[in-house]
Amino acid sequence: MRWKFLLRPSWLALFAGVLVFAFACFYLLSPWQFSRNSEREAQNSAVQASMTAQPKPLDSVLAPGAVPDQHTEWTRVSITGSYLPQDEVVARLRTVLGEPAFEILTPFRTANGEVVVIDRGYVQPGDHNSVPPYAAPPAGTVEVVARVRQDETDPKNRPAFADASTGGKLQSYVVDSRVVAASSGLDIRRGYFQLDQGAPGVLNALPLPQLDSGPFFSYALQWIAFGVMALGGLTYFTVRELKPGGALAEMGERAKRKRKSVAQILAEDNASENAAADPSERPARRN
């Protein structure tokens, strides 16, 4: 029966490999890229809307204890309170507009007693990648306008630290209110707030993300195409193998004919030499 070749281990392995690859393309890789595209579209919409919307009081956007999410991120809020510069933390190893930078994270006690983290913007490194001098935040009660941001997460969960390399400044590897809370001992609400240009205490305001869709949608389509091509190739070779003299069988036969053992080669050489040495095998000489 011609279908029996499908039960050979090599074909079973081929089928399994192609099906696993196609499953990954259709159900893992392309959905992942589609989700990243959706996230980018949501971010672009939120940033675009925040450019024209008036800032709202913090409590009207985030209820007490609420954690920022993709629905509230980038919303502009107004917060009244005072800075706590003694508990400031510097986020290290940052990149702004393609250049290295430090971001300055300063706790801020609001008028209702709640403490939040304000990202005052960035400064560029000084000599030997040190934190350069920068302006202190204003003292007393101020009103700031900032954008809601979600905390970053350090996979290694490293705390803020200060040593000789930091010049005595507390430094963090991420912008995360939990790291600032742990280093200061303050009860800080989750998330942080990125200052707009011109807000009291701002240094160099962080730029907004570019409003482009990115390559994620095209990447998703490419993974779907790869899955289709894998299944199409498997179908093609299966049909070819079912035809008389199957393509893969012919290739295998040609390979077998080309492969000769050393013993076969030596035997053929000996046979040729013996034939040349046997006078009876020589052609008769004409007079």
On the question of pLDDT at 258 being above 80, the answer is no
How confident is the model over 211-220, as pLDDT tens digits?
777 788 889 8
Place of tokens 């991120």: 73
On the question of pLDDT at 101 being above 60, the answer is yes
Mean of pLDDT values over 143-157 = 95
**More confident position, 80 or 168:** 80
Give the integer Cα–Cα distance in Å for 180 and 193: 13
pLDDT score of 127: 85
On the question of pLDDT at 231 being above 80, the answer is yes
On the question of pLDDT at 190 being above 50, the answer is yes
Band (287; pLDDT cuts 50, 70, 90): very low
Band (278; pLDDT cuts 50, 70, 90): low
Q: Considering the entire predicted model, what is its pTM?
A: 0.67
Band (250; pLDDT cuts 50, 70, 90): low
Q: Distance of CA 36 to CAs 156, 165, 214, Å? A: 24, 37, 9
Mean of pLDDT values over 55-68 = 91
pLDDT score of 255: 56
